[in-house]
Structure 1
Amino acid sequence: MNFRQFALTNVKRNTRSYAAYFLSSVFSITIFFIYAAFIFHPDVLTGSLSEKSVTTSLSKEALRSSIILAESIIFSFSFLFVLYSMNAFLQSRKKEFGILNLLGITNGQLNKLIFIENNVIGITAIVTGIGFGMLFFKLFLMGVSAVLSLPVTLPFIIAPKALYVTIGAFLILFEVICFLTLFTVRFNNVTELLYSIKKPKKSPTYSVWLSLVALTTIGTGYYLAYTANLFKMIIFMVPITLLVTFGTYFLFTQCSILFIRLLKKNRAYYLRSTNLLTFSDLAFKLKDNARVLFIVSIISAVSFTSSGVLFSLVSNMKDETVMRYPQSIALATSYNIEGYNITKKQLTNALQDTHLSYEAHEMKLLKAWYLLDKNNINTPFGINTSPEKEKTNILLLSQSDYNIWAKLTSKEPLSLDNKQAIFVASTPDPGIIWYNKDYIKIEANQHSYTFSIRYMQQPILSPSALTGELLVIHDSIYEQIATKYEIKNIITIYGIHLPNWEKDHDAVVNISKNLKLDKGLYFDSRANMINEYKSMFYLPFFIGLFISCLFFLAAASILYFRLYNDIDNELLHYRSLFRMGLTPEEMKSIISKQIFLLFFVPFIVAVTHASFAVKALHNMINGSVLGPSLTIFGIFFSLQLVYFFAVRAIYFKKLKQVM
């Protein structure tokens, strides 16, 4: 047997050791290759994909930039992950290297052995990853075609450049990591190699103050996330991330040990069955693995948060569209009445020609003004930055016009007197209404009017350059103000309600494409806006889902690496317990409890972090985020459970060797 054959035999014999490292590398390469094949797809390169897409805001540059950004994240994370994996497995094989050193192998030969093994694993992973990438690329194209609402599925074409980029990138990655590993790992001390099993010599210690710091920082981060709205989140995002990350580190390094100490004081539970052995040993494991558990928690939290947020946005897209665009179709103008009438007739004719069921109502809004001063404004951040007095625009709508539209959309009608008004927000986003008084004084047509007001967060007009905050007033006051009102201060809106707007989606999109809008005309529809939301959320969700899965797989693999590295040490421990009289069932119970806690404590921490991030999202949108979030958490929990049972099975198999 020559040296090369010896190295290949080593790879075969260490198949289980390299399994998670190899499979994770294959998964990274597969995703990278799929994205590379899409970047170099002819329809993406030529821009014809943008022309075929029904999604209005899609552009070739934006699409390619999104995929390239995803590629960069995948490659950067793969580099760090593979580097960690290589170092972890080399540490687990120190005893093997020590024996080889005693048999006469030189450091140069040992480095050569590691180099050959790494290249065999790397090249095999590249070939396998590209193979799986080719296998699943068609499914990816089908998914992208559905997301972008393409009339036909993109053709299955794999550009040679995708192969070259993937092979070149990961060959460089594996070679750089190999050299870094050889440079950082030293094998000079044979005694250290043979007795490389490390155990904490002292009982794990903790700091009460640092434990309190951990709970305080995490609690503060949670509070900020729980109370954040759309505006506050802009300035709170970085502090929340830092506070929670900082607190999580001390949660594992300090609070975990404190919890075990407190548990020991409950002697009735601690001395029951095998709990004494389980938790006394667990304290050492938590201390030794605190940093690993911290990293796994943060990576998992990022994965859960991104998936949960993106899936919630996608799931709530319909509800958000309906809330933000009360009219299925809206046409508005402030001065071009002639062009408005022509377009209105063209629009109604098109609706009738396509046999769409609809109801319409025309409304006239009057421009008015009110004084906004520092005593009656709530800024988004709670800080007053407004001038002393500021003349602010508001639109007036008659009660009868509102009630007609409310009847069309199955909303409750209003009943007002001459001194009452309804202040309607321009957007359904919580916290957008800044005016905090129970009355308002407006100026219109050179007269002043004062109303007691109630607030309505849900807008009743679709947003455009002409619409904004709205005041619904009694008809008599409206008619009094409207007398001799200048045309430039009147906004005319033609609102159309489609009872089956989702079913009529394609027809409305086609109608909107054929409309000719003159200057001063504004047109929007739910159908067009839901396409805009698709371009905003579907593609990021589609891309982010793969990256989240990669992060989650890496987090689970890091735990596997750490547990596998300690398995020889564990065998010695369980051999001693077996000689002391513990039954196989009792040892399996101890193993199951410890592995379960090591796998699911960081999982629970990550889910808790992600839950507060999703709560912050819930404060910013109007749809329900609970269902989509629970779905994502449930999927990841199932995957984590599979990983747990796989690792436990490996431990049980190894346990048989000591009995």
Structure 2
Amino acid sequence: MSNRFYLKMAADNIRKNGKVYLPFLISCICSVMVSYIMLALSMSRGLGQIPGGNNMQLILTLGNVVISIFFAIFLFYTNSFLMKRRKKEFGVYNILGMDKKHIQKLIMYETMYIASISIVVGLLTGIILNKVCVLVIRRMMDATVSLGFELSPASMIGSSLLFATFFLLLLGYNTYQVHLANPIELLRGGNVGEKEPKTKWIMAVLGSGFLGAGYYLALTIQSPMTGMPLVFLAVLLVIAGTYLLFTAGSIVALKLLRKNSTYYYQIKHFIPVSGMIYRMKKNAVGLANICVMSVGVILLLSIAVSLYVTSDESIHAQYPSNVIAEIKLSGDIPEAEKQVKSELQQAAERTAAETQVEIDSISSYTSLSFPAVLVQGGFDVPEDIYSNQTTKISSLYFIDQNNYNSLFGGNVSLNANEVYLHGTGKEYEGTSLSLMGEQYQATVMKDMKGFVTGQSTVSTIVDIYYIIVNDVEMLQKIEQQQRAIIGKSAGAIHVSARIDLDKETGNEQERNFGNILSGKLEAAGIDVSVVDTRVSAGEKFRALRSGVLFVGMNLGILLLMATVLIIYYKQISEAYDDKDRYSIMRKVGLSLKEIKGVIRSQILTVFFLPLIATGVHAAFTFPLMKKLMVVVMLDSTQWFLYCMAASYTVFAIVYVLIYMVTARAYYKIVS
């Protein structure tokens, strides 16, 4: 047979099976489009020149790797549904005289058609929409709009090669499946039933245990950054528990329903329950996939939307002044403090003269911070405080009374063994304080204005305690005590400076002021930890927000698309499996109304289980995700709660619409 015959036959097959091929083709086109846009943005020279653009492009590059892995899993998963529907057709071809090599050649041409259309249309759509995405990102980063059209040949080649590889792997897998099967297996490939699965109580209990352990970690992990291994463990436990519970727990639940004679022996319950028991092993994996991806959709959309609605107030909360500087002190702390503050004042004045900027005010204070564990009657600093991830850590911030009074206008007067405390999140209780073996008389203050500025989001992750001590010598004594315990990882005494510039100062002037000031301090031999400006921090934050928003929205939409397709293919596949069964039921006396009731009961019994499980997962992961949002400087975590609730509501509405469409398609097929 000539190649023209195969080409024509392959095109006819795709057209005739449009009901199952069209959603797959649209998904492939969208995947190629997104891949091109992500690659083009990560390589764009124009975006790289925007302040903070390099950070955003790094996020896009990492996001593209994650999305590529998702593409591979998604294409192979949906391909399994397509092959199941086509096996009977291939079996007929084989019986009518077409050899397996001819069937494999036919599959090759069908794959070639799908791949060519997907890559060409996907790239064209991506090229058109790429400019829109560039404009959106520039707008989000407050950058000027660039004119002209930017084409990225490297991104076109990269996306084409990536998806050509995916389709070659799919072709190899499909042809291998045909090679292994005999004609009878191909004919029965779409109608192979399942044996009644055994009741696996151990797997059900194990799944419950995994899920409970994952929930416990999600609720108790203090910092998602320092406890990243535990975060991954929690995710793996929740995913494993979900699959085990859907696989084994659903069978246990169905068999318990079957034992309930009042429920089971009704037409609308008897048929769907008995049928699902036999197919649940295969069915449960699909339901678990839907649940896991639904959680991903809700979390990603919540992150993206909450970052979008967050204004630059987060920057002002973290950077109350135009310029922030931290300088490390060592040696004789009282003498070093005087020298550093004097050098800082002079360097700031010289920098202002060079950059033609007026300084409104300069304030500085000396402080010490390090982690500790809250114990009965005080705080302890264990040697393994950084390595022990199960210990709930608090952060202690110390300042002496002279610095506090001069900086914040206080009238604190303390004796040598007396301290004032203020806690955020959890207030300290008691009138005495034990700290590394030393006893102090403690007075709890309800407020420490000024000193706690910029720490509002950090207190979401850890409990912070602000402590005022007698003098700088006491700060040095406490610093030496904790250094003797922790060693090189110990906290150091710093001079923190806040410089407010004139309101007329431009962004470029403020940025130059920070860079020049940092250079002058380092030239003076001062140990500078950080010199940063509000403008630079805002650019980094907007770049981070833009990158995370773009990747999150793309991943969320792709996961939503995958979820819809999996539900669609699952329902259509089961409808074709059930068509002959319901035909027999009609012949033995069931009316169309009764059959419709049976179908509704069957779909509702399993269809909304993933939605319910998704809501439970989202609720238990919220505390951990809220802490993660603090890391990306979401100042008001309340926004994340609202966005998650809104995302779940919208997803539930979409889910119900999917149910209505697939239920109608299911009924049309079986009736």
Q: 1:437 to 1:9 in 2, by over 3 A?
A: farther
| Equivalent position to 2:287, from 287, 290, 293 | 293
Do 1:89 and 1:565's aligned partners in 2 also have CA atoms closer than 8 Å?
no
**Other structure's SS at 1:608 match:** helix
Q: Counterpart of 1:69 in structure 2: which amino acid? A: L
Which residue of structure 2 lines up, in the alignment, with residue 530 of structure 1? 538
Q: Does 1:588 align with 2:596?
A: yes
Task: Tell me, in whole angstroms, the C-alpha distance in 1 between the residues paired with 2:472 and 2:186.
Answer: 93
Separation in 2 of the partners of 1:371 and 1:598? 49
Map of 1:568 onto structure 2: 576
Residue number among 14, 19, 24 corresponding to 2:17 in the alignment: 14
Name the SS for the 1:289 alignment partner: helix
Write the distance in 2 (CA, Å) between the matches of 1:349 and 1:601: 68
Checking the alignment, whether the CA contact within 8 Å between 2:320 and 2:453 is kept in structure 1 is yes
The whole-number CA distance in structure 2 between the counterparts of 1:491 and 1:4 is 76
Hey, what's the Cα distance between the residues in 2 that align with 1:384 and 1:109? 61
For residue 441 of structure 2, what is the aligned residue in structure 1? 451
Is it true that 1:249 corresponds to 2:253 in the alignment?
no
1:279 to 267, 273, 279: 273
Distance 1:163 1:239 in 2: 37
Distance between the aligned counterparts of 1:284 and 1:489, measured in 2?
68
Q: Once the two structures are superposed, what CA deviation does each residue of 1:43-73 show, in whole Å capped at 9, x if it has no partner? A: 25xxxx343x243xx43xx555443333333
How many Å separate the matches in 1 of 2:241 and 2:218? 15
Q: CA deviation at 1:506?
A: 8.7
Higher mean C-alpha displacement, 219-228 vs 488-497: 488-497
Distance in 1 of aligned mates of 2:611 and 2:371: 53
Q: Given the alignment, which residue of 372, 378, 381 partners 1:377?
A: 381
Question: CA offset at residue 309 of structure 1?
Answer: 4.3
**1:228–1:619 Cα contact (<8 Å) kept:** no
Whether contact under 8 Å (1:366, 1:397) holds in the other structure is no
Aligned to 2:30: 27
Match of 2:668 in 1: 653
Distance 2:203 2:357 in 1: 72
Deviation digits for residues 571-630 of structure 1 (CA, Å, limit 9, x no counterpart) = 112222333444434433433443345443224334433433332132463722311222
Q: How does 1:86-125 map to 2 (within 5 A)?
A: 86-125=79-118
Q: Deviations over 1:91-129 (max 9, x none)?
A: 212222222222221212111111111111221122221
Output the aligned Cα RMSD: 4.5
Deviation at 1:403, TM superposition (A): 5.1
Q: 1:85 to 1:422 in 2, by over 3 A?
A: same
Superimposed CA distance per residue, residues 388-412 of structure 1 (whole angstroms, 9 cap, x where no aligned partner):
xxxx9943145645654xxxxxxxx
Aligned positions of 1:115-514 closer than 5 A = 115-153=108-146, 155-186=148-179, 188-198=181-191, 200=193, 202-230=195-223, 233-271=227-265, 274-309=268-303, 311-312=305-306, 321=315, 323-327=317-321, 329-330=323-324, 334=337, 335-342=339-346, 362=363, 364-365=365-366, 376-377=380-381, 379=385, 394-398=398-402, 400-401=405-406, 404=409, 421-423=419-421, 438-439=432-433, 450-454=440-444, 460=452, 471-472=467-468, 491=495, 493-494=497-498, 496=500, 507=506, 510-514=509-513
1:68 aligned to 61, 66, 88, which one? Answer: 61
For 1:124 and 1:321, locate their aligned partners in 2 and report how far apart those are by CA, in whole Å.
46
1:192 deviates by 2.6
Distance 1:38 1:638 in 2: 32
| Cα displacement (A) at 1:557 | 1.9
Alpha-carbon distance in 2 for matches of 1:181, 1:4: 18
| 1:509-529, Cα deviation, whole Å (9 max, x unpaired) | 643434531214765444433
Determine if contact 1:395/1:469 at 8 Å carries over to the other structure.
no
Structure 2 gap segments, 5+ residues each: 328-336, 456-463, 476-491
Identity %: 18
Q: Residue 620 of structure 2 aligns to a residue in which SS?
A: helix
**Residue 608 (structure 2) aligns with:** 600
The 3 A distance-change label for structure 1 pair 310 and 440 is farther
- Change in Cα spacing, 1:371 to 1:459, as seen in structure 2 (3 Å) is same
The amino acid across from 2:219 in the alignment is: Y
**Aligned residue in 1 for 2:334:** none
> In 1, distance between residues paired with 2:510 and 2:64?
38
Match of 2:549 among 541, 547, 553: 541
SS at the partner of 2:151?
A: coil
Q: How far did 1:31 drift?
A: 0.5
**Which amino acid is 1:557 matched to?**
L
Match of 1:629 among 634, 644, 654: 644
Structure 2 vs 1, CA of residues 266 and 397 (structure 1 numbering), >3 Å: closer, same or farther? farther
- Who is 1:640 aligned against? 655
Conservation of the 8 A alpha-carbon contact between 1:79 and 1:173: yes
- Contact 1:98–1:194, Cα closer than 8 Å, also in 2: yes
Tell me the residue number matched to 1:501: none
Q: In structure 2, do the counterparts of structure 1 residues 508 and 8 end up closer, same or farther at CA, with 3 Å as the change threshold?
A: closer
Aligned: 1:36 with 2:39 = yes
Q: 1:360 to 1:93 in 2, by over 3 A?
A: same
Question: Does the 8 Å CA contact 1:331/1:344 hold for their aligned counterparts?
Answer: no
Q: Which residue of structure 1 aligns with residue 483 of structure 2? A: none
The residue that corresponds to 2:487 in the other structure is none
1:406-450 alpha-carbon deviations (Å, 9 max, x no partner): xxxxxxx9988767633468xx7x79x99999425799xxxx993
2:623 is matched with 615
- Residue 149 of structure 1: SS of its match in structure 2? coil
1:319 deviation in Å? 6.3
- SS at structure 2 position matched to 1:471: strand
The DSSP-based 3-state class of the residue aligned with 1:566 is helix
CA distance in 2 between partners of 1:646 and 1:369 (Å): 58
Q: How many corresponding residue pairs?
A: 604
Residue 557 in 1 paired to residue 565 in 2? yes
Checking the alignment, whether the CA contact within 8 Å between 1:359 and 1:497 is kept in structure 2 is yes
Task: Tell me the SS of whatever aligns to 2:420.
Answer: strand
SS in structure 1 of the partner of residue 442 of structure 2: strand
Shift of residue 203, structure 1, vs aligned partner: 3.5
Q: Which moved more, 1:358-367 or 1:231-240?
A: 358-367
Deviations 1:223-271 (A, max 9, x none): 1111111166334123212322221221011111122233345555555
**Which whole-Å CA distance do the structure 2 matches of 1:588 and 1:182 have between them?**
39
* Amino acid paired to 2:73: L
Partner of 2:482: none
Go from structure 1 to structure 2 and tell me whether the alpha carbon gap of 1:530 and 1:435 turns closer, same or farther (over 3 Å shift).
farther
**191 and 227 in structure 1: CA distance in 2 versus 1, 3 angstrom threshold:** same
CA distance in 2, matches of 1:547, 1:371: 39
AA of the residue aligned to 2:539: N
Shift in Å at residue 165 of structure 1? Answer: 3.0
Equivalent residues of 2:207, 2:241 under 8 A apart? yes
Distance (Å, rounded) in 2 between the aligned partners of 1:633 and 1:506: 44
**568-577 vs 200-209, which moves further:** 200-209
Please give the per-residue CA displacement for 1:66-86, whole angstroms capped at 9, x wherever unaligned.
433333333333233323333
Is the 1:232–1:381 contact (alpha carbons within 8 Å) kept by the matching residues of 2? no
**Can you list the C-alpha shifts for 1:345-368, whole angstroms capped at 9, x where unaligned?**
5899999989xxx98674544779
Q: Distance in 2 between matches of 1:199 and 1:615?
A: 44
Letter in 1 for 2:230: F
Give the secondary structure class of the aligned counterpart of 2:216.
helix
